[in-house]
Amino acid sequence: MRNEIKGLNEECGVFGVFGVPEANRVTYFGLHNLQHRGQEGAGIVTTDGEHLYQHRDRGLLSEVFADPSDMERLVGDAAIGHVRYGTSGHNSINNVQPFLFHFHDGDIAMAHNGQLTNAVTLRRKLEDNGAVFQSDSDTEILIHLIRQNIHMGFMPALKKTLNMVKGGFAFLFLQKDRLIAALDPNGIRPLCLGQMPNGAYVVTSESCALDIVGAKLIRDVQPGELLVIDKDGLHEDRYTDDTKLAICSMEYIYFARPDSIIHGVTVHSARKQMGRLLAKEQPAPDADMVIGVPNSSLSAASGYAEAAGLPYEMGLIKNQYVARTFIQPTQALREQGVKMKLSAVRGVVAGKNVVVVDDSIVRGTTSKQIVRMLKEAGAKSVHMRIASPPFRFPCFYGIDVSNRAELMAAHYSVPEMCKLMEADSLGFLSVDGVVKAINVPDAGDAPYGGLTVAYFNGDYPTPLYDFEEGYLKSLNEQEKRARKERLSK
Ligand SMILES: O=P(O)(O)OC[C@H]1O[C@H](OP(=O)(O)OP(=O)(O)O)[C@H](O)[C@@H]1O
Ligand SMILES: NC(=O)CC[C@H](N)C(=O)O
Ligand SMILES: [Mg+2]
């Protein structure tokens, strides 16, 4: 497991299509619109109905497929693809997906977005029974469990396996004659189904990947669902009925692209509404203008400005040539990283009282630098407003924030954070505000309006299995008591 948080990093993106000529290129375009979800590695596996063909490597999609011959080898009319930001396992080619496995009774490829919370225990057992793993990522466990139960037949073995693994997962599998998709029982990670004009089905992490390939959004894959797509079309099945929607609220807050629609909610509109509610909950009475922090907070900032009746200005600009994951090993380099990314627009902010709206604070590096930058550019006062609650607890479901040590809000109160970042004031949106702003229509009676908000209040929608012990150790006495009380309910 990683022990350093590199700011708020992405997770992974998956894309699968069945029944379209040049499925390799369609998948490439889909992954192109999912690149924001992972930049460590990328890959595609295709099938021509007989064999499976794979190309994967570390780096951005365009780097991985820089040589056209690597793309040309991927023949066939069905494919799955993956962009990776690892949560477990190293950044090595062995962990880059899709994985491809060869068996006497047929090859299989798989791609995963999410993280399994009982992977360590399962892997230990499998290894003790003779399994030899090729990677050190949690994802590979699936295939070993399927093979252990293959005497039941593939689909029963897959269903059994999906009931054994815990945590957050959106899986795609490709065999020579079908594409399979499965989502965890809480639907923590997003996954949607679309259809291309020729009738080919697409399953992918975000609907923005459907738009780029001209596919129409049909619906979201539901918690516990198992979809099989083959030459006869779409077969809808389930591997469990024990489900309750708890989609990751950080998808709406930060990860997903603003043009994606998740469970009927356009991400931009949810963010804008978070900004509006933030303006009501945390006004900044003496402010002259609102500015956003490109890219992810611009929607929320425009909502804040609208609700507060303040002008929305461009006080910060972003150098678009800096990758989202500007990973540096030391704090000094990380701060330099923010400077390479963002610059203040002096002519806009000089002599003004400024409200800065960002979507989240993880380590606090960005906020600290922004306050300093704006003050150096002559801002009279800087009021930080964050369109989500303080990020106090780790994520074990696929966001690379599984260690509490560097979460600023885990160690400091809001007034202390304000002082540390030398802001004139600091205010966060409440959990209730997040739930109201997103307002997932198909949440039913699921807690928190069908969202996972554990990062803010420690209320995880599932047991934490292998992570429980370490997590408990990271809590203070009061938090430990609250955790124990929750678990005993
Ligand atoms: O508190 P920190 O550890 O600095 O992390 C939080 C910052 O990171 C994210 O933006 P990111 O820099 O990833 O860029 P983006 O908004 O352009 O995606 C997020 O939107 C915050 O601005
Ligand atoms: N961020 C993710 O969804 C990662 C998928 C998988 N857990 C990996 O580490 O590769
Ligand atoms: Mg940001």
Domain boundaries, the chain: 12-243, 268-438
Which ligand gives the minimal distance to the CA of 366? 1
What's the mean per-residue pLDDT of the chain?
94
Evaluate whether 12-243 and 268-438 have a shared fold: no
The answer to whether 434 and 389 have CB atoms below 8 angstroms apart is yes
At 56 the pLDDT is 98
Nearest CA to ligand 1 atom 19: 360
Ligand 1 centroid, distance to 81 Cα (angstroms)? 26
**Is the distance from the beta carbon of residue 275 to the nearest atom of ligand 1 less than 6 Å?**
no
Q: Residue 362 CA: which ligand 1 atom is closest? A: 1
Buried b (16+ CB within 10 A) or exposed e, 39-66: bbbbbbbbbeeeebbbbbebebbeebbe
Name the DSSP class of 247: E
Distance CA 415, CA 423 (A): 10
Distance CA 322, CA 337 (A): 9
Tell me: pLDDT of 7 over 70. no
Tell me: pLDDT of 8 over 70. no
**Is the distance from the beta carbon of residue 89 to the nearest atom of ligand 2 less than 6 Å?**
yes
Confidence category of residue 341, pLDDT binned at 50, 70, 90: confident
Statement: 12-243 belongs to CATH 3.30.300.30? no
* 359 assigned to a ligand binding site: yes
Tell me: pLDDT of 282 over 80. yes
At 326 the pLDDT is 41
Distance CA 348, CA 311 (A): 11
Q: What is the mean pLDDT of residues 407-411?
A: 94
Mutate to test the pocket of ligand 1, among 4, 5, 6, 8 (most ligand atoms within 8 A of CB): 8
Q: Residue 10 CA: which ligand 2 atom is closest? A: 1
Residue 418 annotated in active site? no
**Is the distance from the beta carbon of residue 10 to the nearest atom of ligand 1 less than 6 Å?**
no
The answer to whether 398 and 12 have CB atoms below 8 angstroms apart is yes
The answer to whether 201 and 19 have CB atoms below 8 angstroms apart is yes
* 381 assigned to a ligand binding site: no
CA distances from 313 to 46, 298, 310, 440 (A): 46, 10, 9, 30
Cβ neighbours around 332 below 10 Å, total: 9
Edge-to-edge strand order for the sheet containing 178-183?
99-101, 108-116, 167-175, 178-183, 225-230, 233-238
**Is the distance from the beta carbon of residue 117 to the nearest atom of ligand 2 less than 6 Å?**
no
Which ligand gives the minimal distance to the CA of 399? 2
Judge if pTM exceeds 0.90.
yes
Tokens in use for 340? Answer: 């390479």
What class has domain 268-438? alpha beta
**Is the distance from the beta carbon of residue 292 to the nearest atom of ligand 1 less than 6 Å?**
no
The answer to whether 390 and 348 have CB atoms below 8 angstroms apart is no
Tokens in use for 175? Answer: 């065999």
**Is the distance from the beta carbon of residue 84 to the nearest atom of ligand 2 less than 6 Å?**
yes
Nearest CA to ligand 2 atom 7: 115
Nearest CA to ligand 2 atom 1: 11
| Residue 271 CB-density burial (10 A; 0-12 exposed, 13-18 middle, 19+ buried) | buried
In this structure, of 233-247, 289-303, 324-338, 369-383, the range with the lowest mean pLDDT score is: 324-338
Tell me: pLDDT of 462 over 90. yes
Which ligand gives the minimal distance to the CA of 386? 1
At 482 the pLDDT is 92
Ligand 3 centroid, distance to 293 Cα (angstroms)? 6
* 488 assigned to a ligand binding site: no
Mutate to test the pocket of ligand 1, among 5, 293, 357, 363 (most ligand atoms within 8 A of CB): 293
Distance CA 319, CA 322 (A): 6
Ligand 1 centroid, distance to 401 Cα (angstroms)? 13
- Please name which of 308, 391, 390, 416 lies closest in space to residue 355, comparing C-alpha atoms: 308
Tell me: pLDDT of 330 over 80. no
Q: What is the mean pLDDT of residues 406-423?
A: 96
CA distances from 378 to 171, 315, 381, 385 (A): 50, 11, 9, 19
Q: Is the dihedral of CA 287, 293, 296, 302 positive or negative?
A: positive
Name the DSSP class of 221: P
Each residue's pLDDT tens digit, 160-172 = 999 999 999 999 9
- Please name which of 146, 134, 75 lies closest in space to residue 100, comparing C-alpha atoms: 134
Confidence category of residue 402, pLDDT binned at 50, 70, 90: low
Tell me: pLDDT of 401 over 80. no
- 247-248 and 451-452 as β-strands: parallel, antiparallel, unpaired? parallel
Ligand 2 centroid, distance to 412 Cα (angstroms)? 29
Distance CA 166, CA 469 (A): 16
Tell me: pLDDT of 10 over 80. no
- Tell me what percent of the residues of the chain surpass a pLDDT of 70: 96
Mutate to test the pocket of ligand 2, among 37, 137, 254, 402 (most ligand atoms within 8 A of CB): 137
